[in-house]
């Protein structure tokens, strides 16, 4: 473990002059070493925690309203309270960051592994358990290597292991390397994988991890960034934490912005206090869309989130607001696409990801996502049929029935459909593939139609009545197309 095979950490972190909690050591190129960590309040949070009763630590986290950073945004302190009084119990750290567009946890694991380990130990202490599993995504070699080194150092210095800091508290942290499956970022699939099985999600209920998790024992699954907050939070307290951010989502969070902005990267921001416009156009942040282009659409919370458009730019980055507007902030990955982007091609790129990453467990996801991919490929290959657009929506509706979440489209008179989608599947992977389809067709139907050359005739002028028909089969539209096609012969 001592040999550093991977020297350079991943690029992308942007220091934006704002308040910093989890990235505050990033300026130092040696921030991942125990020496530097100890020189910068390292393990002070743990010392503080261990001077308190476990319940007090848990209450502190609850008071701070530390929201989970994995995507659902559920308060960590409340989640911890769900554990029944059953032992053994486990803490599992989800470092399988793989949502398209997200690369914040990777930086935290590569550049401040001790901060994460300290968070793990504090959480274990607060939860009264002594076994933590740190599951790191298979592809993140440097993160694995640095965590391994940090764990060895932490064990050697008694921050982890038997009799931590001279007390009678024993906590073990086990590093587990994933094998590279997107779905293992889903907590129940991660647990399956950790147990040595193929990573496939379990149905909730009955397999809520807090009740029946790892080895069917109570298990808390927390995100890397969530736990990375604990060092600072324990040292500075809940009130100090709540001075940052908004009332509903205190503190800071890391956002990964990619795509057609001038300065893409990972930013630590007080999320609830700024809008998408601030983030994309602000001087401290992304500094605007690249020259000569306009914003076309953006994904506010990772590849699984329905798309937003210019209409939504002034929304605050607040989970509840974004949810009501028809999408999600998710794991804090924003993908910005300008007017050079082909909506159909972007849609296919995302759908293909889900088709390839479907674990194969649920029929609708396994078969539906690949069918969607095939239809989109056919359209892009010039073999599309008029009915394929509604077929796409209908296939999507068989994976995610009912009205699919979508942003409002005022010009077309369409109001927002709030998050989340319904699903015929166990986990949200299948429904995620529907997000780009519904988003793209609702907004850019004409782009799809323009690519459909079969039976095209002269019906470019077909009335796109923009009815919100993604949960029906769109018969009205079929009828139009047929009529025009017939007329053309």
Partner 1 sequence: MTATDNPQTTTGVPFTLNGKAVEARKDELLIDAADRHGVHIPRFCYHPRMNPVGMCRMCLVDVDMGRGPGLQPACMMPVTPDIKVDTESEATKSAQDGVLEFLLINHPLDCPVCDKGGECPLQDNTLSFGPGESRFVEEKRHYEKPIPISPLVDLDRERCILCDRCTRFAKEVAGDPLIHFIGRGAQTQVNTFPDHPFSSYFSGNTVQICPVGALLAQPYRFKARPWDLETVESTSAVDTTGARVLVQSSRNQLTRILGLDSDAVNWGWLSDKDRFAYQVTESENRVTEPMLRRGGDDLTPSRWSDATKTAARALRGDPARVAVLGGARLNIEGQYAWAKLMKGVIGTDHVDCQLSDGLPAPMALGLPRATINQVCAPGGVVVLLGPDPKEELPTLYLRLRHAIVEDGVSLIELTPRPTSLSDLAAARLHCVPGTVGQVAAALAPGVSNESADAQPADQMTAARALLDGSRPVTVVLGRANLAESARYTADAVGALQRLVPGVTFLPALRRGNVLGGLEMGLTAGFLPGGVRRAGANFPAWPFVPDFDGKDADGIMRAAANGEIDTIVLLGADPMEDYPDAALAKAALERVSTLIAVDAFVTSSAAEADVILPAALFGESDGSFLNLEGRLSPMLAKVTPPGQAKADWMVAVELATALGIDLGFVTLAELRAELSSMATTFASVDWNRLASADDGPVLPLKRQWVLEFGDAATPPAPSSYGLRLVVDHKLWDQGTMAQESPSLAGLAPPALLHLNPADVEALGLSEGTPAIIDRDGATLEAPWVADPSVVPRTARMAIRLPGFDVRSLLTVGRSVTNILIRAAGGTH
Which stretches of the chain bind partner 1, using CB under 8 A?
Answer: 181, 198, 200, 203, 206, 355-364, 366-371, 374-375, 378, 391, 394, 397-399, 401, 422, 424-426
Cβ 331 to partner 1, closest distance in Å? 21
- At 403, list the tokens: 């009205």
Cβ 121 to partner 1, closest distance in Å? 34
Residue 43 or 354 with smaller CB distance to partner 1: 354
Cβ 467 to partner 1, closest distance in Å? 19
H or E, element range at 36 = helix 34-39
Cβ 97 to partner 1, closest distance in Å? 19
H or E, element range at 432 = helix 429-451
Of 98, 305, 93, the closest CA to residue 181 belongs to 98
Beta-carbon contacts of residue 177 (< 8 Å; ≥ 6 apart) = 136, 138, 144
Residue 97 or 357 with smaller CB distance to partner 1: 357
Cβ 133 to partner 1, closest distance in Å? 22
Cβ 361 to partner 1, closest distance in Å? 5
Residue 200 or 227 with smaller CB distance to partner 1: 200
- At 333, list the tokens: 């990955």
Cβ 255 to partner 1, closest distance in Å? 29
Cβ 301 to partner 1, closest distance in Å? 23
Between the two ends of the chain, the Cα-to-Cα distance in Å is 72
Residue 275 or 398 with smaller CB distance to partner 1: 398
- CA dist list (Å): 92 to 147, 312, 345: 15, 36, 37
Residue 68 or 428 with smaller CB distance to partner 1: 428
Residue 273 or 394 with smaller CB distance to partner 1: 394
- The per-residue DSSP string of 269-332 comes to E-GGGSBHHHHHH-TTTT-SBPTT--EEEEESSSTTSPPB-GGGTTSBS-HHHHHHTT---TTT
Cβ 363 to partner 1, closest distance in Å? 5
Beta-carbon contacts of residue 247 (< 8 Å; ≥ 6 apart) = 272
Residue 45 or 428 with smaller CB distance to partner 1: 428
Of 168, 183, 197, the closest CA to residue 137 belongs to 183
Long-range contacts of 305-309, Cβ-Cβ distance < 8 Å, separation of 24 or more: 305/329, 305/330, 305/435, 306/404, 306/405, 306/406, 306/407, 306/419, 306/435, 306/438, 306/439, 307/407, 307/435, 307/436, 307/439, 307/440, 307/443, 308/276, 308/407, 309/407, 309/409, 309/443
Residue 273 or 398 with smaller CB distance to partner 1: 398
Residue 362 or 417 with smaller CB distance to partner 1: 362
Of 18, 13, 100, the closest CA to residue 337 belongs to 100
3-state helix, strand, coil in the chain (%, to 5): 45, 15, 45
Strand order, beta sheet including 219-223: 172-177, 131-136, 90-95, 219-223
Cβ 376 to partner 1, closest distance in Å? 11
Rounded to whole angstroms, how far apart are CA atoms 15 and 23? 9
Cβ 266 to partner 1, closest distance in Å? 28
In a 3-state reduction of DSSP, which class is residue 140?
coil
Say if strands 265-269 and 295-299 run parallel, antiparallel, or are unpaired. Answer: unpaired
Residue 272 or 368 with smaller CB distance to partner 1: 368
Check: CB of residue 33 under 8 Å from CB of residue 147. Answer: no
Say if strands 90-95 and 295-299 run parallel, antiparallel, or are unpaired. Answer: unpaired
Residue 173 or 183 with smaller CB distance to partner 1: 183
Say if strands 219-223 and 172-177 run parallel, antiparallel, or are unpaired. Answer: unpaired
Cβ 370 to partner 1, closest distance in Å? 4
Residue 225 or 373 with smaller CB distance to partner 1: 373
Check: CB of residue 436 under 8 Å from CB of residue 400. Answer: no
């Amino acid at each position: 473990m001592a040999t550093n095979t991977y020297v350079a950490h991943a690029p992308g972190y942007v220091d934006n002059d704002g308040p910093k909690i989890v990235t505050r050591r990033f300026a130092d190129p040696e921030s991942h070493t125990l020496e530097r960590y100890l020189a910068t309040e390292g393990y002070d949070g743990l010392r503080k925690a261990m001077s308190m009763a476990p319940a007090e630590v848990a209450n502190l986290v609850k008071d701070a309203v530390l929201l989970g950073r994995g995507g659902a945004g559920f308060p960590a302190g409340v989640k911890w309270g769900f554990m029944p009084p059953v032992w053994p119990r486990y803490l599992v750290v989800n470092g399988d960051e793989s949502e398209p567009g997200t690369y914040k946890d990777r930086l935290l694991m590569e550049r401040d592994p001790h901060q994460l380990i300290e968070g793990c130990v504090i959480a274990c202490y607060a939860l009264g358990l002594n076994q933590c599993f740190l599951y790191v995504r298979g592809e993140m070699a440097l993160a694995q290597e640095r965590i391994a080194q940090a764990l060895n150092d932490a064990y050697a210095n008694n921050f982890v292991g038997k009799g931590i800091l001279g007390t009678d508290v024993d906590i073990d942290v086990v590093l587990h390397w994933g094998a590279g499956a997107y779905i293992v970022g889903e907590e129940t699939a991660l647990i399956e994988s950790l147990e040595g099985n193929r990573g496939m999600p379990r149905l909730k209920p009955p397999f809520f991890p807090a009740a029946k998790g790892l080895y069917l024992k109570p298990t808390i699954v927390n995100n890397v960034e969530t736990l990375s907050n604990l060092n600072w939070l324990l040292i500075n307290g809940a009130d100090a934490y709540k001075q940052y951010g908004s009332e509903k989502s205190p503190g800071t969070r890391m956002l990964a912005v990619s795509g057609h902005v001038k300065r893409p990267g990972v930013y630590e921001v007080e999320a609830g206090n700024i809008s998408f416009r601030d983030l994309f156009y602000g001087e401290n942040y992304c500094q605007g869309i690249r020259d000569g282009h306009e914003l076309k659409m953006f994904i506010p919370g990772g590849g699984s989130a329905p798309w937003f458009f210019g209409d939504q730019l002034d929304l605050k980055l607040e989970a509840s607001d974004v949810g009501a507007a028809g999408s999600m902030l998710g794991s804090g990955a924003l993908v910005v696409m300008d007017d050079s982007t082909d909506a159909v091609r972007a849609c296919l790129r995302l759908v293909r990801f889900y088709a390839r990453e479907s674990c194969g467990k649920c029929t609708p996801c396994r078969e539906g996502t690949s069918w969607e991919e095939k239809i989109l490929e056919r359209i892009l290959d010039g073999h599309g049929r008029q009915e394929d657009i509604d077929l796409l929506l209908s296939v999507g509706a068989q994976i995610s029935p009912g009205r699919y979440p979508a942003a409002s489209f005022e010009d077309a008179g369409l109001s927002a459909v709030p998050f989340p989608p319904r699903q015929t599947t166990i986990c949200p992977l299948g429904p995620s593939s529907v997000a780009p389809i519904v988003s793209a067709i609702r907004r850019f139907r004409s782009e799809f139609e323009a690519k459909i050359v079969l039976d095209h005739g002269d019906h470019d002028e077909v009335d796109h009545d923009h009815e919100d028909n993604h949960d029906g089969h769109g018969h009205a539209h079929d009828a139009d197309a047929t009529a025009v096609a017939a007329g053309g012969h």
